[in-house]
Structure 1
Amino acid sequence: MRLKNPLFLIVAFVAVILDQLTKYWVVEASSFWPLETIIDSKTGIPYDRNTLPLLQGIFHFTYVKNDGAAFSIFSGQVDFLRWLSLGVSLILIGLALFGPVLNRWDQLGYGCILGGAVGNGIDRFALGYVVDFLDFRLINFAVFNVADSFISIGIVCLLIASFQKTPTSSRRLR
């Protein structure tokens, strides 16, 4: 059987591998990083977390256990998010294997999104939370991970693909 959308699955595989390797490294290495005290914005209670400043005050590796989705929405709803990740992943795998032949941008986009969904899904099923660590402090952005980055890149690829598609003719038959 010849795959219709090989780039789709290759990109997804690479995304999952990169995501899981970086998360493994963060979990193993973070215990050697300095501690910083943070005040929880919701409760006002201080807590410590490991962070490695690469550019002080601009970009850090900060180990965070996120039991929610992007920007911690659906926080604490691990079961819902774990099954949502699985459902999205299965739909995208079905699209790759049984859907139409996709153009390069669509394959890149869907592959990145699949890789991100699988990467975060693995964390949710195995750990009950997602490992986040990319901390852009200059713009006070939420801490995120490689899987989240692939999902964002995938969305950009799909936007590019949508601009490249020519609209179908709207001529009426006489």
Structure 2
Amino acid sequence: MDGQFGKVRDYLTAVLCCAAAVLLDQITKHLAVVHLKQQREIVLIPGVFELRYLENRGAAFGLFQNRQIFFVCAAVVIFFLIGFFYGKIPGGRRNLPMRICAVLICAGAVGNLIDRIRYQYVVDFFYFSLIDFPIFNVADCYAVIACILFAYLILFFYKEEELEWFSFFRSK
């Protein structure tokens, strides 16, 4: 009974953390719409970093413009795949970083999905002018940071036998 309750508690915690992250993303996007739309960019560090409003109709960093149905479907699939894998992650403190990655990837997907459904585009506003990096948002940060951390964890942190849960097909 405690095992089942623990799983429900873990999922509920993940959903609440994801919702909090999505809320933060949506608040920052609302602030960008209110304060940056149809305004000049706000330079925070001259020649390095600024806030600049952009309506992104593509994927990450402006790729694949005007494919909204594809992006909505992809976000839903990502959400359910991450949810499935989240349930397979063993409990315990050692696997907490993997759970955090899952929550952040979901939060990034949901945050941008809300924009796509609501506006037909994603609100982006962070711009690194020093390297002319594509304009991005908080949800993009969640997804990119989580994917980098995920790769690091798989390559350097966990031993191969600790990742057996990650396989669809287990060797016998």
Q: TM-score range by the shorter chain?
A: 0.7 to 0.9
| Alignment-derived partner of residue 19 in structure 1 | 25
| Alignment-derived partner of residue 106 in structure 2 | 114
Q: Answer 1 or 2: which has greater helix percent.
A: 2
Q: 1:69 aligns with which of 59, 62, 80?
A: 59
In the alignment, the residues of structure 1 paired with residue 22 and residue 149 of structure 2 have an alpha-carbon distance, to the nearest angstrom, of 18
Q: 2:160 aligns with which of 147, 164, 167?
A: 167
Q: Structure 1 stretches of 5 or more lacking a match?
A: 35-50, 169-174
Aligned length: 152
Q: Structure 2 stretches of 5 or more lacking a match?
A: 162-172
The answer on whether the counterparts of 2:126 and 2:137 sit within 8 Å (CA) in structure 1 is yes
1:128 partner letter: Q
Using a 3 Å threshold, how does the CA distance of structure 1 residues 32 and 128 change in structure 2: closer, same or farther? closer
SS state of the match for residue 76, structure 1? coil
TM-score w.r.t. the length of structure 1 is: 0.78
In the alignment, the residues of structure 2 paired with residue 73 and residue 157 of structure 1 have an alpha-carbon distance, to the nearest angstrom, of 23
TM-score w.r.t. the length of structure 2 is: 0.79
In the alignment, the residues of structure 1 paired with residue 125 and residue 158 of structure 2 have an alpha-carbon distance, to the nearest angstrom, of 36
Report deviation, 1:19.
0.6
Report deviation, 1:105.
1.2
| Alignment-derived partner of residue 136 in structure 2 | 144
Deviation sequence 1:47-67 (CA, Å, 0-9, x none): xxxx11112221110000000
- What are the residue-to-residue correspondences of 1:32-111 with 2, within 5 Å? 33-34=39-40, 51-96=41-86, 98-101=87-90, 103-111=95-103
1:124 partner letter: R
Q: Percent identity?
A: 30
Q: Answer 1 or 2: which has greater strand percent.
A: 1
Report deviation, 1:93.
2.6
Report deviation, 1:8.
3.8
- Give the superposed CA RMSD: 2.1
- The structure whose Rg is larger is 1
